[in-house]
Amino acid sequence: MTLDSCSESDFPAGVEVFSPSITISRFENALALEQRGEYAFALNELESCLSQEGVDKGELFFHCGWCEEQSTEGDKHQALFYYRVAAEIAGSISTRINAHFRSGWLLMHDEDNLAASLMFRKAIDLADSASLHDEVYPHAMFWHASTLESLGRFVDAIHEYRRVQEIAPLLAPESLYREIVCLNQVGLYEEALRACRRFDSPHPEGFDNRRYTELCALARTESDMLEKCLEAALAQGA
């Protein structure tokens, strides 16, 4: 008799039968709970699958991390552990990229910008090596630039923000403003002024109009200050 040919009635009462199909069913149930926002229940289901065969363990660890991160009672450090394991063992490159990204996100919000920067960089490098440039890719680049900026690596951040503007229209306005801030930090005032004037263009289709108005106002303030500073510098040099 094999597991495929028997039924639960063939086993003594109280003996739980595990098979790949049961594990997959539990995994699918966990994903349904996750989609409904029932993260604690989903996590329990996912953890019950970890010792079983039939599902990519990396996928399991990633979803454990996501549920742990999203749960109101979740442990962010435990979520980070799950993501790090997923990044190492997942069969799917996309899952590994996502795991690096989520690790970076958690570390960034824990104000560990150096570690976060390394995780975002791993996500970017893995995506490049696999030529897998999905929707996570530009976000990893943007937040990598943000962590570089926080670390005072303004020139590196400028280059990264510019790359984001080239490949992701919906992230371009935010990236452009952060580029202006970084240019000011390194004293490239004329470049910063030229960047400010790019906000005279209409916002990308799909970008939030209210946020774009806010960014334009910030850029105008920067532009006014830069023009005054550059005029003063010219007057002093005359």
Q: For residue 23, name the pLDDT band (cuts at 50, 70, 90).
A: low
Inform me whether the pLDDT recorded for 19 exceeds 60.
no
Work out the percent of the chain whose per-residue pLDDT is above 90.
Answer: 79
Residue 233's domain comprises 152-238
Buried b (16+ CB within 10 A) or exposed e, 199-233: beeebeeebeeeebeebbeebeebbeebeeeeeee
Is residue 216 included in any domain, yes or no?
yes
More confident site: 52 or 177: 177
69 & 167 share domain: no
Evaluate whether residue 141 is within a structural domain. Answer: no
Q: For residue 170, is it within any domain? A: yes
Q: Are 80 and 176 within one domain? A: no
Residue 3 has pLDDT above 60, yes or no: no
Res. 84: pLDDT tops 80: yes
Does residue 128 sit in the same domain as residue 20? yes
Mean pLDDT score across all residues of the chain? 89
> Which segment of 6-15, 74-83, 186-195, 199-208 scores lowest on mean pLDDT?
6-15
Instruction: Determine the angle formed by the axes of helices 189-197 and 172-185, rounding to 10 degrees.
Output: 160
pLDDT at 34 over 70: yes
Position 131 pLDDT exceeds 80: yes
Please give the Cα distance from 52 to 62 (Å, whole number).
Answer: 16
Q: Does residue 206 share a domain with residue 115?
A: no
pLDDT tens sequence across 213-235: 999 999 999 999 999 888 877 77
In one-letter notation, the amino acid at residue 70 is Q
> Is 231 in the same domain as 174?
yes
CB 64 within 8 Å of CB 44: no
In this prediction the pTM is 0.85
Question: Total domain count for the chain?
Answer: 2
- Judgement on whether residues 22 and 121 belong to the same structural domain of the protein: yes
Number of other residues whose CB lies within 10 A of the CB of residue 10 = 11
25: pLDDT confidence band, cut at 50, 70 and 90? confident
Asked if 167 and 124 sit in the same domain, the reply is no
Quote the pLDDT of residue 237: 63
Contacts of 186-195 spanning 24+ positions with Cβ under 8 A = 186/154, 186/155, 186/158, 189/226, 189/229, 189/230, 190/230, 192/222, 192/226, 193/223, 193/226, 193/227, 193/230
CATH number, domain of 81, equals 1.25.40.10
| 147 located within any domain | no
pLDDT of residue 132: 95
The answer to whether residues 80 and 182 belong to one domain is no
Same domain flag for 128 and 180: no
